[in-house]
A and B are shown apart, each in its own frame.
Chain A
Amino acid sequence: MGPVKGGFKKKRKTTPEKVVLEANVSAAAASASAAAQQEEPIDWWDGFSKRLTGRLSQAKGSDKFESLFRISRKTFNYICSLVKEDFQSKPSNFRAASGKRLTLNDQVAVALRRLCSGESLVTIGDSFGMNQSTVSKVTWRFVEVMEKRALHHLQWPTEEAMIDIKSKFEKIRGLPNCCGAIDITHILMCSSHQVDSSDSIWCDREKNHSMVLQAIVDPDMRFRDIFTGWPGSLKDSLVLQSSGFFKLCEKGKRLNGETIELLEGSEEVREYIIGDVGFPLLPWLLTPYQGEDLSESSLEFNKRHFATRMVAQRALARLKEMWKILQGEMWRPDKHKLPRFILVCCLLHNIVIDLEDEVQDEMPLSHLHDPGYRQQICPSVDMNTSSTLRDRLSLYLSGTLTS
């Protein structure tokens, strides 16, 4: 009698015949999937909307699609095209309760509904006529594929793109050579009342269980850099310090582009980003002046600084508004999966901007991304390089800078 373990392993070995078989199976599955798609009505949405039940079925008119998925049909189709290859290369066996196999569009619709509504798996399952576990699996698959296929929508700008970004920032309130606005928000998590010692680290200063999301935003409210996964108990300044962006900047590998002269013959101004008083004042990160007896130029700088960094607050507020799964609806989420959900929501946020989706124009421009959270204040430490830069900028903005 041969070894049992060996026998089991042999079964797992992939033989050439099996490769051919698998190829045939996948080809057959792909053709089945294509056939299933062919069986659909000419417009997928016509058939899909008829299958909706409950509250979702009551929405009527052309706005029904947008109200359901928070994106236009054009953006939806683009997202489908992004994930199509992966979804079809490994055909799934996800089925509706009726036994009908879910098409690519069905799966994308389910995942998007889950992300944008934040409704429970049961609610979405009931609305779309499928099991809640199917909703969960389909959503997670979508997240994994989006991470792989849509990353190019969230990246630090190239030199050419940075020129445009600087120009747009300057147009807001005149800050020259500004490359981004940084802010931090808290992604709330529902949690049980019984908190063990490991959970206490997730409890932030407002006594909520949360995960932090640090984002650097461009003037179009596009995320250019995100950092998430850390517990909510971390202070903003510490989140920054632990981020890769901070390290790159300290090493001079980021925000090291073109410098400008404010006046002819004056000292050059390097690239920088702006953030609120929760962040430390650094040579590449300018924060507002703190204190009461501020000079006119300092007050003027603070005003402009506030107006400019509003893009970051609005971007985070819109992110949470559009993708409600980030509003603390998830009940005791897997803390390893939540950052990936956050990332995909940020990617979707950027896709909407990149595709110039009209849906975003209809959304209210709120800047309250962390309601109920007090402003954190990082101890102000006077620092020659950064304070000199800030002083020169404030003088420049108030028109009193001399070379």
Chain B
Amino acid sequence: MVKSNWLDRLHTSKGLPIETNLDFEHFINPNTNPNPNSIPKSIPISNSIKPPIPKSSSRSQKDRENPPKENSMFDIMTNVLAELFIMGDSSTRCRVDEKKKPRKQSNPKPFGVSSGNELCLSEVGVEEAIEEGKGVEVEEECGGSPQRPRKKRRTVDCVNNVEVTIIDTSTSGWKTDKVIYRKGNVWRVREETTVSRKVSWGRDKRKASQLDKESGVIKKKKKKKKRKLLLSSPPEVGREEHVILLTEAMMTNLTTKRNVETTF
């Protein structure tokens, strides 16, 4: 097999031996080692040119010796080459992703609403959940501290929240802001508790902490309990404030129940 000069130079610069049986695939993905006994994730890199001895013990030793910076440089290089040539080998990309994972976990952050990647994933998650009829967990409490419910609310808040302005001349204020969100295959409604639609999380958080200091936590808990009772109670007027958009089947049930209730 005839090798190109640039590949030879690349081998030399990376301290790899120029061998006749070592092709481009080997360079891109050193894991494609024919030896099944070798550890796949170890990377044979050294500054000095050494003959490649595919022994797991020596590799692990070299890994310890090699500074992590070089590993990462190699990863970047490998990734760039893989993307350039579209090798079709998913293992290359997976390896880079796997390298990133520990870095994220070592510095854990609370799940952010503004996280673009997660939004995309959560959308898929929600759709799947609906298709399978599993439903989506939603924190029912509104107006509470934004930190507590964030983990549970994330999937729905990111994707399916629809803010609406309602004009109802039968209500005292005439105009209310509500949020429609989806729970499983059921759309639900909650009232916007804030005056303005665009209230920053930080402002809410500050208010919550002040309430906590002034023993407002107890009040909040009571509020939450009351809310839960409302939701678990049979469909009454209070419930419809929160559950109004239903599937056809559920709507029929609700109508039937209501009719039964109002029949004396």
- Residues of chain A touching chain B, judged by Cβ–Cβ distance below 8 Å, are 151, 154-156, 197-198, 201, 225-231, 233-235, 237-238, 241-245, 247-248, 250-251, 254, 280, 282-283, 335-337, 339-340, 342-343, 378-379, 381, 383-385
Contact = CB atoms under 8 A, between A and B. Distances in A.
Given A336-B163, A383-B259, A154 B244 contact: no
Contact of B263 (A228, A241, A384): A384
Interface residues of B, number: 37
Interface of B is mostly: mixed
A336 B178 CA distance: 10
A314 B225 CA distance: 47
26 contacts: A151-B174, A227-B166, A227-B168, A227-B169, A229-B164, A230-B164, A233-B245, A234-B244, A234-B245, A235-B251, A238-B246, A241-B244, A244-B170, A244-B171, A247-B170, A247-B240, A248-B170, A250-B237, A280-B258, A280-B259, A335-B164, A335-B165, A336-B163, A340-B167, A340-B175, A381-B256
Nearest to B178: A229
Q: Among the interface residues B123, B161, B167, B240, which one has the most CB atoms of the partner chain A within 10 A?
A: B167
A231 B169 contact: no
Contacts of B32: none
| Closest 9 pairs (CB-CB, A-B) | A244-B170, A229-B166, A244-B171, A242-B244, A336-B165, A245-B170, A244-B168, A339-B167, A381-B259
Contacts of B248: 235
B7 interface: no
Contact of A198 (B160, B168, B251, B258): B160
Interface of B: 123, 159-171, 174-175, 177, 180, 187, 189, 197, 237, 240, 244-246, 248, 251-252, 254-256, 258-259, 262-264
B240 A226 contact: no
A61 to B, nearest CB: 38
Contact of A229 (B161, B167, B170, B258): B167
A227 B161 contact: no
Given A336-B163, A379-B256, 14 more contacts: A197-B160, A198-B161, A225-B170, A226-B167, A229-B165, A231-B162, A231-B164, A234-B245, A238-B245, A238-B251, A245-B170, A247-B170, A339-B165, A385-B263
A403 to B, nearest CB: 22
Contacts of A229: 164-168
A321 B159 CA distance: 37
B180 A231 contact: yes
A121 B168 CA distance: 28
A225 B166 contact: no
Nearest to A202: B162
A381 B254 CA distance: 11
B245 to A, nearest CB: 6
Contacts of A282: 262
Nearest to B163: A336
